[in-house]
Amino acid sequence: MALAALFGQALLVAFLLCVVFGRFEGTAGIDPARPVRLRNLLFLTGVSCFWLGCNNSVKEIVKERRIYQQERDNSLIPEAYLFSKLFVLFMIGILQTLMLGTVELQSCEMPGSFTGQIAVLLILSTAGTLLGLGISANARSEEFAVALVPIVVIPQIILAGVVTSLDGISNLLAKFAITVFWGQHALENSLPEVDSIETGFAPKSLTCFAVILLHAFAYLLACWRGIRTTHSFRN
């Protein structure tokens, strides 16, 4: 039932996005709002994958605090424990992302590179998973971990540069700390030139991937630090 709910979330998001945005085939040069609609759809898809990854993992470590501490006292290797979590959660995230991305992008007939778009969604899901694990490894309780999810995801929405343009401090924050900001630019790079929107900031896809991976590595370090600090698991 739990796995059905996890994969059902991805399909539900895909279905709703398809219902709201419809198909893009044959609207080039006809629908003046097409570039904005494409951008919004990619944004909602990217932030959904990021949120699903974070939501999947945010309770995984903190809920096993007592068991982990007992096993740690009996020579459990923290890195082995972390790897076991990463393997399972990455597999779930990959399946969710493929389901959501394939159903939605194909049904909406999204222009551009399907492979490139799926790759960005997968890396966003992975980063979200690592962020959730970082929270879980350092939270004092399941309730606190869950309460932190909107605190870390909502800024990803506000500062992604899609809801409104960014400048000054907000622009610096987005470039420094907002994973979805870079994911959005990578997704937009996958669109044909006719559907692109000039935003004044156009990083290369390779740069976007590098920054997202850097964020993911920072989240992984936070998680590793949490499980290595044994007192953080003691009541």
Give the model confidence (pLDDT) of 35-77 as tens digits: 899 999 999 999 999 999 999 999 999 998 888 888 877 888 8
Confidence of residue 230 (pLDDT cuts 50, 70, 90): low
| Residue 92: pLDDT over 80 | yes
pLDDT for 145: 94
pLDDT for 73: 77
Give the whole-number percent of the chain exceeding pLDDT 90: 69
| Residue 231: pLDDT over 70 | no
| Residue 232: pLDDT over 50 | no
pLDDT for 42: 96
* Measured distance CA(193)–CA(139) in Å, rounded: 44
* Measured distance CA(160)–CA(168) in Å, rounded: 14
Give the model confidence (pLDDT) of 95-131 as tens digits: 999 999 999 999 999 998 999 999 999 999 999 999 9
CA atoms within 13 A on the CB side of 172: 2
Determine contact, residues 187/217, Cβ cutoff 8 Å.
no
* Measured distance CA(61)–CA(17) in Å, rounded: 32
Longest dimension (CA), the chain: 67
Burial 143-180 (b: 16+ CB within 10 A, else e): eebbebbeebbebbbbbbbbeeebeeeebeebbeebbb
pLDDT for 233: 47
Give the model confidence (pLDDT) of 163-221 as tens digits: 888 889 999 999 999 999 999 999 999 998 877 777 778 899 999 999 999 999 999 99
Average pLDDT, the chain: 90
